Amino acid sequence: MRRMVIDQDIRPLSEFRSGVASFIKQVHDTKRPLVITQHGKGVGVLLDVGEFEAMQEKIELLEDIHISITQLESGDGVRHQDARKEVLKRLER
């Protein structure tokens, strides 16, 4: 996801309502999120679908890494040599 451009990517809800189609096109073309405000406070974010999916994949990967680190720290990990032997043994079947 590209970095936001503050003066282009933060819009009040009233402006968003009147120009929904143009803001959807902007988000699609720029791949940048659009922050929607109400009374000066952020209330929503509009994202391109592809950017949202990429962000979800990154989050899932980070969650997997976190689980792995937690398992290793608690002693539940498997040494590389042991894992390699197990994989090779299963491939031979």
Strand-strand pairing, 10-12 and 34-38: parallel
What is the pTM for the complete model shown?
0.69
Closest by CA position to 11, among listed 25, 29, 33, 31: 33
- The predicted pLDDT at position 9 comes to 87
Residue 7 has pLDDT above 80, yes or no: no
31: region left, alpha or beta (phi > 0 left; psi from -120 to 50 alpha): left
A 10 A CB-CB count for 35 gives 16
Residue 4 has pLDDT above 80, yes or no: no
Share of the chain above pLDDT 70, in %: 100
Separation of alpha carbons 58 and 64, rounded Å: 10
